[in-house]
Amino acid sequence: MSAERHYFPGNNTPLGFFSYYNNILGQREANRIICIKGGPGTGKSTFMKKTAEYFAAQNEDIDYLHCSADADSIDGIVFRNMRTALIDGTSPHTTDPVTPGAVDKIINLGEFWDEEAITVNKNKIIDLNEETSRWYRIAYNYLNAAKSVYRSLEEIYNRAACDSEIYKLIANIIGTEYNSMEISLRPGKRKKFFASAITGDGVVNYINTLLKGMERIYMISSPVGYSNSSFMEIITEGAIYRGIDVEAYYCSMCPEEKTEHILIPQLKTAFITVNSYHDIEPWEISSYDEEEKEIILVDMNDYMNVLELKKNENLIETLEEEYEILINKGIKNLALAFKTHLKVEELYIPNMNFVKITALRERLQEELGNITI
């Protein structure tokens, strides 16, 4: 049976669209990377979904890389056993061949459109694209404002944190997880993605799909704004120094610096952040697959100065309310951006030859099926 996982290689953040697409599949580890080009409405997502369906029926393990503009749409597929990826190579996550022919291949769905018919709508397409960009700029301004509030919450919680006790906790975990493992001359690798994304439909979270196959899961409960970054970074570095690969899933608010979740596949161990935006219960994790799981609960509130939190109780409540308001305004404008983008797609769809695209996909499926695992 095919095992599938879901996550986001890019995200809507206070910094604008933020991409970790270069982490999808390395040149040396890949058999094939297919860069799919083409405009909006040319069927890139459907092309990848149909290809995934074909290989899922053959029990291939598949990662579905979702689009942060529309979580129902796919921006990439990774066939894990075949070490092959299909990637949407268009803006805002433009991807071009690095090792053309030997690893990378381009498929251009623009070859199957009626250029003359599309050109008739030139000005309308340009106007709609400019409107879409405007909605995105407004959305990112709201997210940037939300980050300022987030930083204020972070400052309060960091001041309340009992660092010495937290480092004792980390030391105990490292002793348990990395017991007797020596430092390796060949360090492990860190891949970076997002388990959740801020979309026009709200915050969409796929962390549950990533926990399949994990046998031990640390659920780290912490308030929104508290940074588990030091905790996660020490655990991550501990694995990397011992030659163990890590998957790190980053925070939408701080996409460059704050790790929210860690997966260590070799140890079948995961560390996940739990809060109101990543709301998951232990019983839910146990129901994801048939494998027995050991769930370890860690409440970071137990490692904070209660008096410090009490002193700032009203301020925390106010900041949390302001943060949610700003996030929701950002989400509203992301929805408007996507709604406008759909109007662009509607101008392309009638002018595509999807019969020929289907034939191309079937040829690609046959080609990929001949890859030796």
Question: For residue range 114-158, what is the model confidence (pLDDT) as tens digits?
Answer: 999 999 999 999 999 999 999 999 999 999 999 999 999 999 999
What is the average per-residue pLDDT within 83-110?
Answer: 94
The larger pLDDT score, comparing residue 286 to residue 342, is at 342
Q: What is the pLDDT of residue 285?
A: 74
169 and 96, same structural domain?
A: no
Whether 32 is in a domain gets the answer yes
Residue 290 has pLDDT above 70, yes or no: no
290 and 199, same structural domain?
A: yes
20-60 pLDDT, tens per residue?
Answer: 999 999 999 999 999 999 999 999 999 999 999 999 999 99
Instruction: With H, G, I as helix, E, B as strand and everything else as coil, classify residue 100.
Output: strand
Whether 260 is in a domain gets the answer yes
Whether 340 is in a domain gets the answer no
What is the average per-residue pLDDT within 301-324?
Answer: 96
Residue at a domain's end among 277, 303, 329 = 303
Edge-to-edge order in the sheet of strand 84-88: 4-7, 62-66, 74-79, 84-88, 32-37, 104-108
Residue 286 has pLDDT above 80, yes or no: no
Whether 320 is in a domain gets the answer no
193 and 100, same structural domain?
A: no
Count CA atoms closer than 13 A to 182's CA, side-chain side.
3
Q: How confident is the model at residue 234 (pLDDT cuts 50, 70, 90)?
A: very high
What is the bridge-based pairing of β-strands 269-274 and 259-264? antiparallel
Whether 23 is in a domain gets the answer yes
Instruction: Flag the least confident range among 75-84, 251-260, 283-292, 320-329.
Output: 283-292
Whether 137 is in a domain gets the answer no
172 and 297, same structural domain?
A: yes
Q: What is the pLDDT of residue 373?
A: 58
Q: What is the pLDDT of residue 372?
A: 59
Residue 2 has pLDDT above 80, yes or no: no
Q: Rounded to the nearest 5°, which phi and psi values hold at 271?
A: -125, 120
Whether 86 is in a domain gets the answer yes
235-249 pLDDT, tens per residue?
Answer: 999 999 999 999 999
272 and 207, same structural domain?
A: yes
| CA-derived radius of gyration, the chain | 22
The whole-angstrom separation of Cα 4 and Cα 212 is: 9
289 and 179, same structural domain?
A: yes
295 and 184, same structural domain?
A: yes
207 and 109, same structural domain?
A: no
Whether 240 is in a domain gets the answer yes
102 and 168, same structural domain?
A: no
Q: How confident is the model at residue 278 (pLDDT cuts 50, 70, 90)?
A: confident
78 and 202, same structural domain?
A: no
Q: How many domains would you assign to the chain? A: 2
Domain range for 39 is 4-113+352-369
Q: How far is the first Cα of the chain from the last one, in angstroms, to the nearest whole number?
A: 17
292 and 180, same structural domain?
A: yes
**7-19 core/surface letters (b: 16 or more CB in 10 A; e: else):** bbbbbbbbebbbb
197 and 71, same structural domain?
A: no
